[in-house]
Every structure is written in structure tokens, then in C-alpha cells.
Structure 1
Amino acid sequence: MQGPSWREVSEIVERMAARQRAALINALSAFNAAGGEPSMPTSGADAYPLGWEDTALPHGG
């Protein structure tokens, strides 16, 4: 069984209110910290370790 694609997840998150999205980020960050995983850098070359850039996708794209 395959889970949802990142596009499906993105569409669901876009339907959430801003407060809900912020709460989701906080909850996932806490989950990450509890698992002992390092935080992801938000800027600089380390923010995109796979070479991807943070670009907006067109709707339906």
C-alpha cells in the first residue's frame, strides 16, 4: 500500500487554516526533537542538502 503523494499532502495542508498549519509544524518539530533528529537548517547551502530549492509549484502542477 502506497501513502499519499507530496502533492496530495500539499493540497490537504493548503486547506488548513494558518493556525492549524502552525500547530502542525510545532507538533512535527516536537516529534522530530523527541526522536533525537537534528533540526533542518532554514537558510544557506545546508537548507537544501539534496540540491533542491524552495520554489512554489503552480496549482495542478
Structure 2
Amino acid sequence: MMVRGRSLMVSTNDYGEPSANAKHNPPGRRRGGGRRGNEHLDSYLLISMFNEWQRNLK
């Protein structure tokens, strides 16, 4: 069974150069925390974007 509906696709590129000053960079970039800090931030941003998308559907 196939259901037609909406889908959400998100693409992030957090491996490039910082786009703002150090205070706005993800925690992993500020103090050498590495990928571990970015994983948490990626998850938080993805969940926030998904929640906003769902609110806009109503």
C-alpha cells in the first residue's frame, strides 16, 4: 500500500568553514570537542525543523 503525502528532506553540511564568529559556532568547533558536539547539535536542529514543519501543516 502506498500513501501519498508530504515528505521532509533535510541536508546539512557542517564540515565546512565556520560561517559566523566563534560564539555562534557549534560546541564541537569552539573547544576542539570534535564530531561529538556536532551530533547533538545536528539532532537538535533536525528535531526543531521537523516540529516547525509539522506546525506549518496545520
Say yes or no: TM over 0.5.
no
Structure of greater relative contact order (alpha carbons < 8 Å, 6+ residues apart): 2
What interval of TM-score do these two structures reach, taking the shorter chain for normalisation?
Answer: 0.3 to 0.5
What is the TM-score when the length of structure 2 is the normalising length?
0.40
The two structures have a TM-score, normalised by structure 1, of: 0.38
